[in-house]
Amino acid sequence: MQTSQRHTELPSNLYCPVRPANFPHTNIIYSNTAWAKRLKMQSVLNSNKNWENHFGRFQPFDGAQAEPLALCYHGHQFGVYNPDLGDGRGFLFAQCVDPVSGRLLDFGTKGSGQTPFSRSADGRLTLKGAVRELLATEMLDALGVNTSKTFAILETGESLTRHDEPSPTRSAVLTRLSHGHIRIGSFQRLVYLRDHTTLEALIRYALSVYYHDEDADQLSITEAAERLLLLVAENMAHLVASWLAAGFVHGVLNTDNFNISGESFDYGPWRFLSVMDPGFTAAYFDHQSRYCYGRQPEATFWALCRLADCFVPFLEVERLKTLVGRYHDVLETAVVTATCRRLGIDSEWDKASAMVAAFMAGLRSGQMGYDEACFDWYGGSARDAADKGKRKALYQASGFAEAADLLRSAPPAKESNLEADYFAKDDPVHLRIEKVEAIWAPIAAEDDWSELVASLRAIHDMAEAYAMRDEPAHGRLLDQSV
């Protein structure tokens, strides 16, 4: 394991050292053995006790920072600026270098205790919240979304009171693995404080660390800000396109929930579509549907513009408008590419764009399930499941006729794996809300984890069939391989 302390190279007013909570006990629930192996951590994580020491008691790794760091940031929450944010129930525990890609990776926590930013909150995480985040990251990773990975979950022996679920409820601490935790809100805070010196340092750091620009320190600040904004715009376009193709609704697209790396993370009230409904809203508290499925591109662009606002000290407003326009330049093609990937269809086909438009319109006209339609039509002309399967009558409706004609003639992608056992099944894997609740119910009632074990195995089977992730899927849930 190659540890790193890159974050401590930043000015110290971007973080503050904190202490983790002293939990009553720590019991390993889930360990991501695939990523532990990739990061060459087998020797330091060779027992449950070591997993618990590092990810429940947060004993530092050799060569890593000595203390966890709570990161400082502000943000717009549902359009309203809030300067009272920061890591309130999490921190940056450690950093390491991925030996495969050479990229820096953060171990960030959720539910690890109070920090100076907790305000009146307890800094804890419910076990249900941890299970939901595990399901979200595994499903999104399988569907090709650039997402954080759930690395470890430990139950912590506390009883928590929450207004949105039966209480008292069990507690947990989760560690996620991601390519950085610098947020749009990190930049916003520096503008709010008028700290342009640290803002410039953060721009250069982000460009160098997250986008591997070796010239970041030699560029003028104007050039560095331009490069960073363009790269973030492109990554955010690809990210939202992948959410749409996955049928995913993040739920809370505040500016403190956007990583500068363009990686999806921090899963609270997320949902997956049942049927194609642009107004489908994940968060019960999103009363105006600001972050509903169909408005995610708009919400993401709004957040990007708030990042551009932070660069006003270095760039003219008209130039910033041109730079953020890159998002729209990329988005349309990215949506077509991501949707074709989900459908196993060649995105270079000259009718790909028309097919995607017709497919989405056809889904809106009927009540066929989104996951089912993507599954039934996977491979386009190379597969006849949609015409012979149990849902064929849905696809014969007049509103779906144009989409059906195009899909029947669509060439399969070269990388499509139609011979996979997964595509011989009658139904696809899905994680709609009723499924998530069915997974959690036996855990809450009888400490029965069998539904979660089975669901993770099914997601991993789907991941192998789609072959969209860069690492084989496997982990350990309690004492069972998944």
Note the pLDDT tens digit of each residue in 181-221: 999 999 999 999 999 999 999 999 999 999 999 999 999 99
Q: From 108, 61, 62, select the one nearest 89 (Cα to Cα).
A: 108
481 beta partners: 476
pLDDT of residue 68: 97
What's the whole-number mean pLDDT along residues 336-357? 98
- 145 has pLDDT over 80: yes
Do residues 126 and 172 touch, judged by C-beta distance below 8 A?
A: yes
Q: How far apart are CA 177 and CA 444, in angstroms?
A: 27
Please state, in angstroms and as integers, the Cα–Cα distance from residue 151 to each residue in 114, 293, 450, following that order: 21, 27, 20
Q: Which one is catalytic: 87, 141, 213, 256?
A: 256
Structure tokens at 86: 């920061």
Per DSSP, the residues of 137-204 read HHHHHHTT--B-EEEEEEEEEEEE--TTS-SSEEEEEEEEEES---BHHHHHHHHHTT-HHHHHHHHH
Q: How far apart are CA 2 and CA 64, in angstroms?
A: 9
Per DSSP, the residues of 238-286 read HHHHHHHHHTEE-S---GGG-BTT--B---SS-EE-SB--TT----TT-
- 26 has pLDDT over 80: yes
Largest CA distance in the chain: 64
pLDDT of residue 105: 97
How is the chain split among helix, strand and coil, in percent rounded to 5?
45, 15, 40
Q: How far apart are CA 87 and CA 415, in angstroms?
A: 41
Q: How far apart are CA 340 and CA 172, in angstroms?
A: 38
The yes-or-no answer on residue 256 being catalytic is yes
Burial of 417 per CB tally in 10 Å (0-12, 13-18, 19+)? middle
Do residues 235 and 262 touch, judged by C-beta distance below 8 A?
A: yes
- 419 has pLDDT over 80: yes
Do residues 375 and 407 touch, judged by C-beta distance below 8 A?
A: no
Residues comprising the chain, all counted: 482
Note the pLDDT tens digit of each residue in 62-80: 999 999 999 999 999 999 9
Beta strands 75-77; 480-481: pairing state: unpaired
Residue 17 C-alpha from the chain's centroid:
26
pLDDT of residue 163: 83
Q: How far apart are CA 65 and CA 7, in angstroms?
A: 9
Do residues 174 and 150 touch, judged by C-beta distance below 8 A?
A: yes
pLDDT of residue 472: 64
Domain boundaries along the sequence of the chain: 3-183+444-481
pLDDT, mean over the chain? 96
Q: How far apart are CA 373 and CA 400, in angstroms?
A: 11
Q: How far apart are CA 473 and CA 464, in angstroms?
A: 8
Q: How far apart are CA 34 and CA 30, in angstroms?
A: 12
Share of the chain above pLDDT 70, in %: 100
Do residues 145 and 226 touch, judged by C-beta distance below 8 A?
A: no
Higher per-residue confidence, 336 vs 385: 336
Per DSSP, the residues of 17-42 read E------S--EEEEE-HHHHHHTT-T
Note the pLDDT tens digit of each residue in 431-476: 999 999 999 999 999 999 999 999 999 999 999 999 888 776 789 9
The confidence band for 279, taking pLDDT boundaries of 50, 70 and 90, is very high
Model-level pTM?
Answer: 0.96
